[in-house]
Chains A and B, each alone.
Chain A
Amino acid sequence: MPMAWRNVVAALVLLAFSVVYAVLASDLPDRSIPNTPGPSFFPFVIVTVIALLALALLITGIRELSAGGGGALEGAVTRTGWITLLIFLIYLVSFPFLGFLLASIPFFAALMVLYGARSPMRIAAGSLVIPVGLYFLFTEAFQILLPRGPLGF
């Protein structure tokens, strides 16, 4: 997608955000002394600036589109990247329930595969040694609590 289109999309999203943000800000309680700014003052300043800048971005995008729009650009995330993000999300959702170790071992193994590891032995070794090592390093050496799972670790 050319950058001009991206700018237009982003500008519209930001304008919609501005509307929602302004509505929420208008619901904030006004506890200020007269002639002094209350809790909603700064949000209203921010939303005004965002709206103006989004409008400028929209105009810039439309102008660029009218001028041809430019070539398509590479996306920020490849297909493998999206898979990685999905795996990351699954890991984070399971993290509180399974605990650090039980959640991290399969997560680490999956990432190793995505980053190019192919040897099953290497994947098994890496996904056991490093998460376990990090677990003991942080919990025992640095005394940083990490969530424990149903098996007590």
Chain B
Amino acid sequence: MDADVLAGFQQSILPSSLMATVAGALIGLVVGMIPGMTISSGIIILLPLTFVLDPGMSIALLLGLYVAGMTGGSFSAILLNIPGTPSASATAVEGYLLAKKGESGRALGIAICASFFGGVVSFVCLLLIAPSLANLALEFRAPDLFSLILFGLTAICGFAARSFIKGMLSAVIGLAIVTVGQDPVMATARFTFGDANLLGGIHFLTALIGLFAIPQLIDNLRPDAQIVSRAASSEFGSVLPKISDLIKVRIPAVIGSLTGTFLGILPGAGGPIAAFISYDYAKKASRDKKDFGTGSIEGVAAPESANNAVAGGALIPMMTLGIPGDPVTAILIGALLIHGLAPGPLLFIERADFAYGIIFSYFWANIFNLIIALVAIRYLVKVLAFPRHLLMPSIALLCVVGSFALRNSFFDVYVMFFFGLVGLAMRWLNMPVVPLLLALVLGAQLEEHLRVALTASHGDVTIFFTSPFSALFLGLSVLSIIWSVWLERRRT
């Protein structure tokens, strides 16, 4: 194992990998900063690139974007009171108040440093937990894997949706879509209507591009999306934080880091939930509670460390179990699959060096995010003035290129557009998209494990209850359903 750790570290410090990380971080800060663009959009833009780069560079690029995107969202949250990413919503609460008091530089500096701290804490957790969890996952058999994926889907329905019924519908519709193509056990053609294009099934990356990018293009047509960037010309003081400020935010940063890492592990929990929970905890734990609501740097540090820690947390189930926690890790799975690498416990057996390479690339992503953000923020915020009438059409073209380049297929482009319409329909219904996306990623495995388990038991369903792991995950699934329904009732 030590040889693999060293090999992974060496892979991560290759000049090509480091350059890819820097490029990803730069793009991520820009993408994260622009309101109306999400990290997923940024990754969709880079997706065609990952087809031609080697796996190490692809992942380094995407991780750089992922990490920096979370930080970039705080810039517009603080300067404009408009979160660049949903994860930065909690940062806007105190960050903008600090900016109004003329302390935007202070707020930005704390946000950047807290993001770094959260990222490093989650890196340590990733490094320590992932190999052990991967070893444990090797013990899982078909019933356990089925129940684990089922738990992942039910958990995400609870987190992602205000309405549990709609969350579950989103997931189950995704599972229905996955049945198009060849069945994963017997390769029987299903719902293909004799069309060779449908025999290969619906590629989840194509669906993802449509589901996220098309509604975003439509959203950005609204007049209130045409933001006049005040931040481009605003002046702010030094962003290098004072030692006294860093000491003051140490506890909220720890709270945010640990909360974010834990919630990142849970599918669907995501940055926004972690950020607000951390903000709440930090406020309760603070000795200066009166500062909250008037511009508190603790209120900036907690959510920012949380949302960056989520990234590392989400990598844990992605790498060890092949279960993505959010759209970004779903895309990372896609990027790995394109290169013939399947995330899951076997990755730590067959390509442990590469697995550790990913983990260390995540570390470098946090380092470069910190350096670039502190050094270049004054220039980066000018991007907020980039005309939307150039940015959005460019994204539209990149969506088409990305969909086409996947399999050199026009059919995939039409599928992308179709899913764009599906995404709009889901918005109309206030139905979350993330459960559908995760079902597209995990659906084939879910069916395969279910059928393999039932074949092994000759149709006896008690196999799912006699295995301790399976029983545990099924119990957690039931609990997550009950919790989601209770939470929904409490809201109404």
B is a partner of A: yes
Chain B residues with CB under 8 Å of A116's CB are 226, 388-389
Say whether A60 contacts B165, CB under 8 Å: yes
Interface flag for B383 (CB, 8 Å): no
- The answer to whether the Cβ of B49 comes within 8 Å of any Cβ in the partner chain is yes
Give the distance in Å from the alpha carbon of A27 to the alpha carbon of B455 in the complex.
22
Interface of B is mostly: helix
Say how far A69's CB is from chain B's closest CB, in angstroms.
15
- Chain A 137-149 against B: per-residue CB contact (8 Å), 1 yes, 0 no? 0100011111100
A16, CB-defined interface residue at 8 Å: no
Separation of A116 and B214 alpha carbons in the complex (Å): 18
CA distance in complex: A95, B417 (Å): 13
Output the nearest chain A residue to B174 by Cβ-Cβ distance.
A46
Interface of A, secondary structure class, is: helix
Q: CB distance B410 to A10 under 8 Å?
A: no
> Which residue of A7, A10, A37, A89 contacts B417 across the interface (Cβ within 8 Å)?
A89
Residues of B within 8 A of A49 (CB): 168, 172
A124 part of interface (Cβ distance < 8 Å): no
Residue tally, chain A, CB below 8 Å to B: 67
Contacts of A29 in B (CB 8 A): 188
Bound together, the chains give a CA A49 to CA B17 distance in angstroms of 45
- Cβ of A117: which chain B residues have Cβ within 8 Å of it? 387, 389-390
A89 to B395, alpha carbons, bound, how many Å?
Answer: 16
CA distance A117 to B420 in the complex (A): 24
Q: Determine if A92 is an interface residue (Cβ-Cβ < 8 Å).
A: yes
> Least Cβ distance of B412 to chain A in Å?
11
Q: Which of A10, A21, A104, A147 contacts B397 (CB 8 A)?
A: A104
**Chain B residues whose CB sits within 8 angstroms of the CB of A138 once the complex forms:** 48, 401, 405
Per-residue CB proximity of B387-412 to A under 8 Å, as 1/0?
11110111011101100110010100
10 intermolecular pairs with C-beta atoms under 8 Å apart: A3-B430, A47-B176, A91-B400, A96-B410, A117-B390, A134-B397, A142-B51, A144-B48, A144-B51, A146-B405
In the complex, given contacts A43-B190, A92-B413, what are 13 additional A-B residue pairs having Cβ atoms less than 8 angstroms apart? A3-B430, A25-B190, A31-B186, A36-B455, A46-B179, A53-B168, A84-B217, A95-B410, A108-B393, A117-B387, A126-B389, A130-B390, A142-B52
